[in-house]
Chain A
Amino acid sequence: MGSDNKFIVEGKLAENERIKGESNFLRGTIAQDLKDDLTGGFTADNFQLIRFHGMYQQDDRDIRAERAKQKLEPLQNVMLRARLPGGIISPDQWLAIDKFAADHSLYGSIRLTTRQTFQFHGVLKPQIKLMHQTLNKVGIDSIATAGDVNRNVLCTSNPVESAVHQEAYEWAKKISEHLLPKTRAYAEIWLDGEKVETTENEPILGNNYLPRKFKTTVVIPPHNDIDVHANDLNFVAIAENGKLIGFNVLVGGGLAMTHGDHSTYPRKADDFGFIPLDKTLDVAAAVVGTQRDWGNRVNRKNAKTKYTLERVGVENFKAEVESRAGIEFAQSRPYEFTSRGDRFGWVEGVDGKYHLTVFIENGRILDYPGKTLKTGCAEIAKVHTGDFRLTANQNLVIAGVPAEQKEQIESLAKAHGLISDGVSNQRLDSMACVSLPTCPLAMAEAERYLPDAVTEIEGLLAKHNVADRSIIFRVTGCPNGCGRAMLAEVGLVGKGPGKYNFHLGGDRQGTRIPKMYKENISEQEILAHLDELIGRWAKEGNQDEGFGDFLIRAKVIAPVVNSAKDFYA
């Protein structure tokens, strides 16, 4: 394995490689830092290492300067991202999460994210262990939801095709478990687990872990709600007669880039071909292993799978995976993506249970004036006999409701503003990452800008008499791209306060990357451009022609076909 040395990038290893290598399997000196009550933060390497345990050190950036004047350190805290393969939560788990957020986090919210999980924001150092122990009691952990590892595995939230979904979900869980770090560091540090004197080893991830973050999904066509092209490794569910038989494997998607660095770009995944179910874990491990050994450990900006594929060639990478997994990819089975959005409201599943999908703007579950979303979810959790499913679009499905409970759930949801009429299609098709004030990488507002931006766009649609139509609109606070703006029809990428790179030309299914139309422009300028372009779309667009498709056809913007060549062209 990894014998093909010609594909290893030589040079001085990135600093993170030293950190991982010296971390004693992700322990570092985190335990000492927990005892240091002089600061709310983590020091040196530990700042990076806690990510492998599912946390980021953050601070309230709104008051950073104010606190410096007050001779106080930044309001340091951690954000925790839970590991929740497929995004399924039981009512008991929900109630535990709800209570912890209320009692022990600065923001008091449960944030549903594009990784189909939830995040706690603003947990102070003295509460971190309590947080992990609280989650552990209800069977949730946050192992490897960040850092250079395989992160939370997504799975299409598809409550209709329940049988296939159940199987797909089981695979998402199995893949997640299979690719987890084997170190006992998490249990030792956070759960006061016993220290076992063993020689540790990471057979799949490697003792230095992966060169960069790695994202995996299981997707059930025709829904592309999890955005396959944003992920390193995707298993496209292929069913026959309502039964899952195998997966098409898509490798090398990813949306992150770095402003001003043209060696970085968003890239779609390549289709390697079909595999039967029983090879799933082997193939997952082989893809991860190949990327582990061939990924660039010298330059982190070129370390993701997508760049490895470009550098070594798709065929070489694929052959290596075949050799490692002991398989040959078969011809891809046909499938089609037709949508990405969630289907709001009630649907009846094949098992006769009902599923209610509710829209959560920005995924932020909190009590707002007249919209007590958080209390509502908790009230539902108290009576709900099914489960909750978080979607990759940051919405919530109250799933598995028996017919006789439908009315009760609906009235609770209505009473707390979880179901509200009059939310426009435009709002439903809009999404933003967390960004300011908590995300340390944020360059511009995203979550806090989105509601107003959508209102403006609604106004433009109405102005041009297309109020019933919508545009996939996404805002992401930095080019890392958690908001998946690089698969939107209109994507904004934060550049500076109030300034964005303005991308156009994605499609509604998430299979085309939008190209930059204008660089570093203000919100007003963006709206002025949209005013003009929506006006043209309303007049010149074909029936049912998406905004992005129209812009390509009208040659307003060129399509991105091969990112490595034409994203910046």
Chain B
Amino acid sequence: MSSKNNQALVPSAVINESQWQQINSAIAPLNNNQLTWMSGYLAGLAHQQSAGHVAVPASAAPVVEKQLTILFGSQTGNAKGVAQEFKEKAQHAGLKVNLHSMADYKAKQLKNETHLLIVVSTHGEGDAPDDAVELHEFVGSKKAPKLPELNFAVVGLGDSSYEFFCQTAKDFDARLEALGGKRITPRVDCDVDYETVTNAFFDQIAIQLKEEFAASQATVEPIAGSVNSTSLDAAKSEYSKKNPFTATLLESQKITGRDSVKDIRHIEISLEDSGIQYQPGDALGIWFTNDDALVSELLQLVGVDENESIEVGGDTLSIKQALIEKFELTLSYPTFVKSYLESAPNEKLQALFDDKAKLREYLADKQIVDIVADFPAKITAEQLARALRPITPRLYSIASSQAEVDDEVHLTVAMVEYDVNGNVRNGSASNFLGKRLEEGQELKVFVEHNNNFRLPENPETPVIMVGPGTGIAPFRSFMQQRAEDEADGKNWLFFGNPSFTQDFLYQTEWQRFVKDGVVDKVSLAFSRDQEQKIYVQHRILENGAELFDWLEQGAHFYVCGDATHMAKDVHDALLTVVQEHGGKSEEDAEAYLTEMRRGKRYQKDVY
């Protein structure tokens, strides 16, 4: 680090140049441990000053202050949310905490950590989330350092219906141990209903760490009163997942043609008077209710009177109302089967449950009601409630920019409808948004920020967007923003869907963007318009030379939509393009893309 560089980094608004030089010369000889201690010391100092204390007592012993580092790897924002929540909880308990996305964390820093909490999700076939990929690789590689000083804990988020449940968390857990780390507490693998599990886990770990930290040193004083979230993040709204805003549905408009095989809705929601701010790339969380008819069907099957009352989280309400508002009914999960079996033993279901692969296959297209219909039994309201997970909100990529729509937020929602044993089953949130909720009615929403899906800061940077199907949503938001900003950067959209006449989402708006010069190029792949199916990855390959040229000009590459097939196919196509048109080996091409990812030039919002 040359001093020249440091000077360039002078945060002039805070300190002046001569102060900066003094600091630099004072810290230059310090080793890592000393630096870490200094940072804690300074933080404590600052806190005392701001709390009205005068300078640090001269007698204060310069001991290394213990601190907890929390790293999260998050694809959809759940792990990030959990990590943030714990950070607040730990600070509340008086712990010194640093919170980082794994993507922003320098892997070499690991050897300096003494207390580390990892919160990481797992996707698809055991894949790490995008922001965790690098650290995950590093920890598993030969380059990883010994970590004898490390005390760690791992929280995994996943979905137990998948074969490689919480695999990324398991990997971190095993490797940190192998590198010499000591577990503070055994790893916890959370299923889709992670909130109840993580709360208990955090309470326990916070107490444990508080004792440990206290034994060695004076802790930073607890922050008085409740966590003042606005001081932690000025941009954060008072509304959150736990405290959602009651918004109004303005419009629900089908935007696929009458002969489409898909039913996709454009949803407009009013955030008026909420003060909620979102950015292109963010998602909107929707708290939905379950369908009345579905609930009645389920209650009838298990033989429970819908007026029977039940207690849920301290509230007493009818079982029917509880199922409508409080429980997850449209996804199915092994824990339900387990619990249901306890109440209603059934040999066949037991056999299914014992065969993980078969169970996963069976559950894939079933809702709770279908399991009960397939293995009927009469159970009590309490037994039913105990078997069910709490309802969780669904996240949708926002399709609008506030620069264009002010206090509205737009979504692009595919209606999920499928057949189970002759019964029509609907996706819960999509059905709620698109079919049950009427224009003018209220719904509870919150914004889930996603810093891993952002327009380039430089308005001149070219943007390549790959968003087939509802994956087009954030790009509508991007282009509204760039149009409003009059950003000069070139924009290129790759879009695909079954047919041109029926499924060209926001066609007239894209035509307008092109006409107005906002969008420079649109590459379309309508899979069913010709005998040979054509998808976005084919268009990427066809346009390889030009696409690579854009990348070389510094273009950001964004992918949104289906994670299981599309994102992989697009990645492979991109890799091929970089190999072919960049004259690179596969390894170098991978490195090229890794570098792009590291530079936040390759971002994904996939689900």
Residues of A within 8 A of B (CB): 37-40, 63, 66-73, 75, 124, 126
Partner of A70, one of B256, B522, B529: B256
**Bound CA–CA A438/B356 (angstroms):** 56
**Bound CA–CA A69/B266 (angstroms):** 10
**B507, A66: Cβ atoms under 8 Å?**
no
Contacts of B500 in A (CB 8 A): 37, 40, 124, 126
3 shortest interchain CB distances as A-B pairs: A70-B255, A72-B507, A71-B506
Contacts of B529 in A (CB 8 A): 126
Give A417 Cβ to nearest chain B Cβ, in Å: 27
Contacts of A126 in B (CB 8 A): 500, 529-530
**Bound CA–CA A40/B514 (angstroms):** 15
Contacts of B510 in A (CB 8 A): 38
20 A-B pairs in the complex with CB atoms less than 8 angstroms apart: A38-B510, A38-B511, A63-B258, A66-B258, A68-B508, A70-B256, A70-B257, A71-B266, A71-B505, A71-B506, A71-B507, A71-B509, A72-B255, A72-B502, A72-B508, A73-B508, A75-B257, A75-B501, A124-B501, A126-B529
Contacts of A75 in B (CB 8 A): 257, 501
Residues of B within 8 A of A (CB): 253-258, 266, 500-502, 504-511, 514, 522, 524, 529-530
**B257, A67: Cβ atoms under 8 Å?**
yes
In the complex, the chain B residue whose C-beta lies closest to that of A69 is B253
Give A62 Cβ to nearest chain B Cβ, in Å: 10
**Bound CA–CA A124/B502 (angstroms):** 12
User: Which of A38, A124, A126 has the most CB atoms of chain B within a 10 A radius of its CB?
Assistant: A38
In the complex, the chain B residue whose C-beta lies closest to that of A126 is B529
User: Which of B253, B255, B266, B507 has the most CB atoms of chain A within a 10 A radius of its CB?
Assistant: B507
**Bound CA–CA A73/B255 (angstroms):** 11
Contacts of A37 in B (CB 8 A): 500, 524
In the complex, the chain B residue whose C-beta lies closest to that of A66 is B258
**Bound CA–CA A193/B524 (angstroms):** 27
In the complex, the chain A residue whose C-beta lies closest to that of B502 is A72
**B257, A39: Cβ atoms under 8 Å?**
no
Contacts of A40 in B (CB 8 A): 500-501
Give A22 Cβ to nearest chain B Cβ, in Å: 22
**Bound CA–CA A255/B223 (angstroms):** 90
Contacts of A66 in B (CB 8 A): 258
Contacts of A124 in B (CB 8 A): 500-501
**Bound CA–CA A538/B529 (angstroms):** 57
**B511, A70: Cβ atoms under 8 Å?**
no
**A72, B504: Cβ atoms under 8 Å?**
yes
- Using known A-B contacts A38-B514, A38-B524, A40-B501, determine if residue A71 contacts B257 with beta carbons closer than 8 Å: no
Query: Do most interface residues of chain B lie in helix, strand or loop, or is the interface mixed?
Result: mixed
Query: Do most interface residues of chain A lie in helix, strand or loop, or is the interface mixed?
Result: loop
Give B332 Cβ to nearest chain A Cβ, in Å: 33
**A73, B507: Cβ atoms under 8 Å?**
yes
**A39, B511: Cβ atoms under 8 Å?**
yes
User: Which of B254, B501, B505 has the most CB atoms of chain A within a 10 A radius of its CB?
Assistant: B501
Q: A37-B524, A72-B508, A75-B501 are in contact. List 5 more A-B contacts (CB 8 A).
A: A39-B511, A63-B258, A71-B253, A72-B501, A124-B500
**Bound CA–CA A71/B260 (angstroms):** 14
**A72, B509: Cβ atoms under 8 Å?**
no
**Bound CA–CA A66/B500 (angstroms):** 16
**B257, A72: Cβ atoms under 8 Å?**
yes
**A71, B524: Cβ atoms under 8 Å?**
no
In the complex, the chain A residue whose C-beta lies closest to that of B504 is A72
Give A38 Cβ to nearest chain B Cβ, in Å: 6
Give B253 Cβ to nearest chain A Cβ, in Å: 6
**Bound CA–CA A124/B508 (angstroms):** 17
Contacts of B266 in A (CB 8 A): 71
**Bound CA–CA A389/B253 (angstroms):** 49
Contacts of A63 in B (CB 8 A): 257-258
Give A141 Cβ to nearest chain B Cβ, in Å: 25
**A70, B254: Cβ atoms under 8 Å?**
yes
**Bound CA–CA A70/B500 (angstroms):** 13
**B522, A38: Cβ atoms under 8 Å?**
yes
In the complex, the chain A residue whose C-beta lies closest to that of B264 is A70
Give A45 Cβ to nearest chain B Cβ, in Å: 17
Give A345 Cβ to nearest chain B Cβ, in Å: 40
Give A128 Cβ to nearest chain B Cβ, in Å: 14
**A71, B508: Cβ atoms under 8 Å?**
yes
**Bound CA–CA A70/B264 (angstroms):** 10
Contacts of A69 in B (CB 8 A): 253
In the complex, the chain B residue whose C-beta lies closest to that of A39 is B511
**Bound CA–CA A70/B509 (angstroms):** 11
Contacts of B254 in A (CB 8 A): 70
**Bound CA–CA A69/B255 (angstroms):** 7
**Bound CA–CA A69/B504 (angstroms):** 13
Contacts of A73 in B (CB 8 A): 507-508, 511
User: Which of A39, A67, A71, A126 has the most CB atoms of chain B within a 10 A radius of its CB?
Assistant: A71
**B258, A71: Cβ atoms under 8 Å?**
no
Contacts of B253 in A (CB 8 A): 69-71
**Bound CA–CA A71/B510 (angstroms):** 10
Give B318 Cβ to nearest chain A Cβ, in Å: 39
Give A77 Cβ to nearest chain B Cβ, in Å: 9
**Bound CA–CA A38/B511 (angstroms):** 7
**Bound CA–CA A311/B440 (angstroms):** 64
Give A124 Cβ to nearest chain B Cβ, in Å: 7
**Bound CA–CA A190/B506 (angstroms):** 30
Contacts of A38 in B (CB 8 A): 507, 510-511, 514, 522, 524
**Bound CA–CA A70/B507 (angstroms):** 9
Contacts of B509 in A (CB 8 A): 71
In the complex, the chain B residue whose C-beta lies closest to that of A62 is B258
Give B95 Cβ to nearest chain A Cβ, in Å: 51
**Bound CA–CA A327/B502 (angstroms):** 59
Contacts of B506 in A (CB 8 A): 71
**Bound CA–CA A73/B509 (angstroms):** 10
In the complex, the chain B residue whose C-beta lies closest to that of A124 is B501
In the complex, the chain A residue whose C-beta lies closest to that of B526 is A37
Give A332 Cβ to nearest chain B Cβ, in Å: 54
Give B513 Cβ to nearest chain A Cβ, in Å: 10
Give B184 Cβ to nearest chain A Cβ, in Å: 53
**B501, A71: Cβ atoms under 8 Å?**
no
Contacts of B511 in A (CB 8 A): 38-39, 73
Contacts of B514 in A (CB 8 A): 38
Contacts of B522 in A (CB 8 A): 38
In the complex, the chain A residue whose C-beta lies closest to that of B511 is A38
**Bound CA–CA A67/B510 (angstroms):** 15
Give A341 Cβ to nearest chain B Cβ, in Å: 39
**Bound CA–CA A68/B509 (angstroms):** 11
**Bound CA–CA A66/B255 (angstroms):** 10
Contacts of A68 in B (CB 8 A): 508
Give B412 Cβ to nearest chain A Cβ, in Å: 11
Give B468 Cβ to nearest chain A Cβ, in Å: 15
User: Which of A39, A69, A70 has the most CB atoms of chain B within a 10 A radius of its CB?
Assistant: A70
Contacts of B502 in A (CB 8 A): 72
User: Which of B258, B505, B510, B514 has the most CB atoms of chain A within a 10 A radius of its CB?
Assistant: B258
**Bound CA–CA A73/B501 (angstroms):** 8
In the complex, the chain A residue whose C-beta lies closest to that of B499 is A124
Give A116 Cβ to nearest chain B Cβ, in Å: 31
Give A257 Cβ to nearest chain B Cβ, in Å: 35
Contacts of B530 in A (CB 8 A): 126
**Bound CA–CA A68/B506 (angstroms):** 10
Contacts of A39 in B (CB 8 A): 511
In the complex, the chain A residue whose C-beta lies closest to that of B515 is A38
**Bound CA–CA A63/B259 (angstroms):** 11
**Bound CA–CA A68/B507 (angstroms):** 10
Give A199 Cβ to nearest chain B Cβ, in Å: 36
**Bound CA–CA A40/B254 (angstroms):** 20
In the complex, the chain A residue whose C-beta lies closest to that of B505 is A71
**Bound CA–CA A126/B530 (angstroms):** 9
Give B496 Cβ to nearest chain A Cβ, in Å: 12
In the complex, the chain B residue whose C-beta lies closest to that of A67 is B257
**Bound CA–CA A185/B8 (angstroms):** 65
**Bound CA–CA A126/B525 (angstroms):** 13
**Bound CA–CA A8/B22 (angstroms):** 94
In the complex, the chain B residue whose C-beta lies closest to that of A75 is B501
